[in-house]
A and B are shown apart, each in its own frame.
Chain A
Amino acid sequence: MSAEEAHELGRDGVFRVKQYLEGTTHLRLPWTAYDHVNLCKRQRLDGSKKTYDLAGHFLGERRRPLFVEAKKYTTAGAQGTLYLEYIADVYSITARAQREEMDDGAEFMWITWHPFSQGAWPRLLSHEYVYEAVEKHVDSLQLGGGDGNAESAEPDKELCRTVADRLWLVVLTDRQQEELTLTAEELKLAMMHLKREGA
Chain B
Amino acid sequence: MPETSLQNAVASALISDNPDDVIEGIKGAVIAELEKLDPSAEIKKTDYFNHSFAPDLVLSWGARQDREVYLRYNFRSTQAARDVDLLGGSNPVFFSLDSSHDDSEVADELEGEIERSPNALVTNAPSIDEFAEFDNLKLVRESVAAPLFDLFRRNVVRGGKGLIISQTAADLPRYRGSDNLGQDIDYIDRFESTVSRLFREDASLRLRRAASIVRMARTGDIEMLHADEDGGENLVRGKLETDEIRILLPYLLRRAQEEDESTFWEYIGSMVGLKEIQKISAELEEVDIGSLVRANLHYWRANRSAVSLNSEWFDEEEHPEPRWYIHAKMLTASAGPWTVHFTTDKRQASGRDDSPLARWEDLRPALSGSAVSSAELQGVVRRISVSTNDESSDVLRDVDSIFETMDDDFKLRRLSVRGTVAGASDVDVDFKHNTAEGNDAALVDLARSSFDILGYRYPISEGERVKIFGEQSERE
- Chain A interface (Cβ < 8 Å from any Cβ of B): 10-12, 14-15, 18-19, 22-23, 28, 30-32, 34-36, 38-39, 55, 184-185, 187-188, 190-192, 195, 199
> Could you tell me if B52 and A18 are in contact, using CB atoms closer than 8 angstroms?
yes
> Could you tell me if A23 and B52 are in contact, using CB atoms closer than 8 angstroms?
yes
> Could you tell me if B19 and A39 are in contact, using CB atoms closer than 8 angstroms?
yes
> Could you tell me if A19 and B73 are in contact, using CB atoms closer than 8 angstroms?
no
Determine how close the nearest CB of chain B comes to the CB of A22; give it in whole angstroms. Answer: 4
Which of B76, B81, B89: most chain A CB closer than 10 A? B81
Residues of B within 8 A of A39 (CB): 17, 19, 22
State A11–B52 Cα separation when bound (angstroms): 14
State A190–B51 Cα separation when bound (angstroms): 13
Given contacts A35-B74, A188-B55, contact A19 B49 (CB under 8 A): no
Q: How many pairs of A and B residues are in contact by the CB < 8 Å rule?
A: 77
| A184 and chain B: residue at smallest CB distance | B86
Given contacts A11-B76, A34-B77, A184-B86, contact A191 B54 (CB under 8 A): yes
- Chain B interface (Cβ < 8 Å from any Cβ of A): 14, 17, 19, 22-23, 46-55, 73-74, 76-77, 80-82, 86-87, 89-90, 98
Residues of B within 8 A of A22 (CB): 51-53
Residues of A within 8 A of B73 (CB): 32, 34-36
State A38–B52 Cα separation when bound (angstroms): 20
Among candidates B14, B47, B53, residue contacting A184 with C-beta atoms closer than 8 Å: B53
| B97 and chain A: residue at smallest CB distance | A35
Residues of A within 8 A of B53 (CB): 19, 22-23, 184, 187-188, 190-191
State A35–B89 Cα separation when bound (angstroms): 26
> Could you tell me if A199 and B90 are in contact, using CB atoms closer than 8 angstroms?
no
State A199–B81 Cα separation when bound (angstroms): 21
Residues of A within 8 A of B74 (CB): 35
State A14–B77 Cα separation when bound (angstroms): 10
Given contacts A31-B19, A39-B19, contact A185 B89 (CB under 8 A): yes
> Could you tell me if A19 and B90 are in contact, using CB atoms closer than 8 angstroms?
no
Residues of B within 8 A of A190 (CB): 53
- Return 30 A-B CB contacts under 8 Å, by A number: A14-B80, A15-B77, A15-B80, A15-B81, A18-B52, A18-B81, A22-B51, A22-B53, A23-B53, A28-B48, A28-B49, A30-B19, A30-B23, A31-B50, A32-B77, A35-B74, A35-B98, A36-B22, A36-B73, A39-B19, A39-B22, A184-B52, A184-B53, A184-B87, A187-B54, A188-B53, A191-B48, A191-B51, A191-B53, A192-B46
> Could you tell me if B49 and A30 are in contact, using CB atoms closer than 8 angstroms?
yes
State A15–B76 Cα separation when bound (angstroms): 11
State A111–B49 Cα separation when bound (angstroms): 22
> Could you tell me if B17 and A199 are in contact, using CB atoms closer than 8 angstroms?
no
State A65–B345 Cα separation when bound (angstroms): 57
